[in-house]
Chain A
Amino acid sequence: MENLNLKLKIWRQSSPNDKGAFVSYDVSGLNTHMSFLEMLDVLNEKLVVTGDDPVAFDHDCREGICGMCSMVINGKPHGPQKGTTTCQLHMRHFKDGDTVTIEPWRAKPFPVLKDLIVDRSSFDRIIQSGGYISVNTGSAPDGNSLPISKEIAEDAFDAAACIGCGACVAACKNASASLFVSAKVSQLSLLPQGQPEREERVKNMVSKMDEEGFGHCTNTGACEAECPKEISLEYIRKLNWEYHRSNIKG
Chain B
Amino acid sequence: MKTYFTSTIFRKTIASLSGVFLVLFLLGHLLGNLQLFISGEAGQKQFNEYAFFMTTNPVVKILSLVTYTSIILHIALTFYLTIQSKNARPVKYAVSSGTSNSSWASNNMAVLGTFLLIFLVIHLKSFWYEMHFGSVEMDLWGNKDLHSVTVTAFHELWYVLIYLVSMIALGFHLKHGLESAFQTLGVRTRKYSSAITNLTTGLVLLIPIIFASIPIFIYIKNI
Contact = CB atoms under 8 A, between A and B. Distances in A.
A binds B: yes
Interface of A: 9, 11, 22, 72, 74-76, 101, 103, 106-109, 171, 173-176, 203, 206-207, 209-210, 213-222, 225-226, 233-234, 236-245, 247, 250
B95 A243 contact: no
B85 A226 contact: no
Contact of B92 (A106, A222, A225): A106
B33 interface: no
14 contacts: A101-B95, A108-B90, A173-B89, A216-B8, A216-B11, A216-B81, A220-B106, A220-B176, A222-B102, A225-B100, A225-B101, A226-B101, A243-B4, A244-B9
B96 A75 contact: yes
A126 B145 CA distance: 61
Contacts of B92: 106
B97 A76 contact: yes
B222 interface: no
Contacts of B81: 216, 218
B101 A247 contact: no
Chain B interface helix/strand/loop/mixed: helix
B198 interface: no
Contacts of A220: 102-103, 106-107, 176
A61 to B, nearest CB: 25
Contacts of B98: 75
Interface residues of B, number: 44
A221 B106 contact: yes
Contact of B88 (A101, A214, A242): A214
A240 B8 contact: no
Contacts of A244: 9, 13, 185-186
Nearest to B180: A219
B188 interface: yes
B9 A206 contact: yes
B180 to A, nearest CB: 4
A237 B12 contact: no
A175 B89 contact: yes
Contacts of A241: 185-187
Contacts of A219: 106, 176, 179-180, 183-184
B39 interface: no
**Of listed B4, B87, B102, residue having the most chain A CB within 10 A:** B102
Across the A-B interface, give the 9 residue pairs with the lowest CB-CB distance, nearest first. Answer: A241-B186, A174-B85, A215-B88, A215-B85, A225-B101, A75-B95, A216-B8, A220-B106, A175-B88
A139 to B, nearest CB: 30
- For the complex, would chain A's binding face be called helix, strand, loop or mixed by DSSP majority? mixed
B89 A108 contact: yes
A72 B85 contact: no
B102 A221 contact: yes
Nearest to B92: A106
A121 to B, nearest CB: 16
A107 B88 contact: yes
Contacts of A222: 97, 101-102
Contacts of B87: 108, 213, 215
Given A221-B102, A240-B186, A244-B186, A75 B180 contact: no
A24 to B, nearest CB: 12
Given A101-B94, A217-B12, A236 B89 contact: no
B94 A22 contact: yes
A206 B1 contact: no
Given A74-B95, A237-B188, A216 B102 contact: no
